[in-house]
Amino acid sequence: MQYAHLGRSGVKVSRLCLGTMNFGPETSEADSFAIMDRALELGINFFDTADVYGWRVGEGWTEQIVGRWFAQGGGRREKVVLATKVFGRMGEWPNQSRLSALHIRRACEDSLRRLQTDCIDLYQMHHVDRQTPWEEIWQAMEQLVREGKILYVGSSNFAGWHLAQAQEMARSRHFLGLVSEQSLYNLTERTIELEVIPACAAYGIGLIPWSPLGGGLLAGALEPTTVGRRADENLKKAIEKYRPKLEAYDALCAQLGERPADVALAWLLHQKAVTAPIIGPRTMEQLNGTMRVLSLTLNQDTLKRLDDIFPAQAGLRQKPMPGDHSQTCHALRAWCGHRRSRGPVPHSIPRAWEQQSGPSSSCGPVPHL
């Protein structure tokens, strides 16, 4: 197994992250236990779950399964870097979802109880909450860190601007802030290359791609089947939409002598920004089969052919004019104006402005702070 630092933090995680979303709804508890045991044998030390997984409102079914597995002892909890999430609806009352300080605290306590542990290593915001100010969110997270209930904070499904907002506010509070971001990222979905990945690189945030196989599209979806995800009607519609690309992709994989799923995961591992893609095996066979990707090297010609089949976002193919950062500048200017009305603006904002636009940018001078 290979390991990498989680963003700019000192903690090391396996280059593959074990996703547990199938545990309960798709995979029995006994099989889930066996998969987690096997993951440790393979050197996978990074496990990801969420309070909503299991999809029974308020139950945290999947977290309970992971917690009962930890309770068996044998060093299981000590070996795992445990990640879970907060945001989703956990009840019918108004404060049982999102990222208010009230819900963050209660949700954390509930996750700790279900997971049968005294500390969550990586506590992730499952989605951005536009209705809660960052001052409140960070105050709640800081308190959980002080109490030893969480160690690191991560995000999921954030836009690049949300990452910048979060980090600048954390910096102004002398807090570590985010160390990771979970995003939808695979060969068929590369939107985050425009803004999220540059933001992650600028702020030292590790990238944890979810749905690395595109919901099954990149796992040999053209092969006929009547079982599993590839038999799903929605996937069949997506296959028809992407059929020419998938035919070219499968042909390339055949030339390489590799399974399409392995090539898709290997491509992610070749992306500099990626810390660890999330794999979500339903069966032991799927978990064991995934290990091939760790020794699969894609040469530059293969990477180029993959780019030709699944092109990068159009914006990445256009070299910006010097000083052309108007979108970023307008966003920074608007936020600075908003912050001035609420108190001092973090000193890092002028530095970010200069780095983005330069002293003679068409966006204008650094706003007065």
Task: Report domain extents, the chain.
Answer: 3-312, 319-369
DSSP 2: -
- Which pLDDT tens digit goes with each residue over 26-56? 999 999 999 999 999 999 999 999 999 998 9
Q: In degrees rounded to 5, what are phi and psi of residue 225?
A: -155, 155
Q: Structure pTM? A: 0.84
Fold of 3-312: TIM Barrel (3.20.20)
Round to the nearest angstrom and report the end-to-end CA distance of the chain.
48
In angstroms, what CA-CA distances link 261 with 214, 268, 279, 328?
A: 10, 11, 11, 36
d(CA 339, CA 7): 28
Residue 123 known to be catalytic: no
User: Is residue 353 over pLDDT 60?
Assistant: no
CB atoms closer than 10 angstroms to residue 140: 19
Please spell the DSSP secondary structure of 151-200, one letter per residue. EEEEEES--HHHHHHHHHHHHHTT---EEEEEEE-BTTB-GGGTTHHHHH
| Overall average pLDDT of the 230-239 stretch | 80
User: Is residue 204 over pLDDT 90?
Assistant: yes
Of the candidates 3, 53, 185, 249, the residue annotated as catalytic is: 53
- Which pLDDT tens digit goes with each residue over 304-327? 999 999 999 755 554 444 444 444
**Closest Cα partner for 5 from 145, 206, 181, 169?**
206
Whether 6 contacts 206, CB under 8 Å: yes
Residues 6+ apart with CB under 8 A from 47: 17, 18, 20, 36, 39, 66, 80, 81, 82, 83
pLDDT over 90 percentage in the chain: 79
- pLDDT for 316 equals 58
**Considering the chain, what is the average pLDDT of its residues?**
88
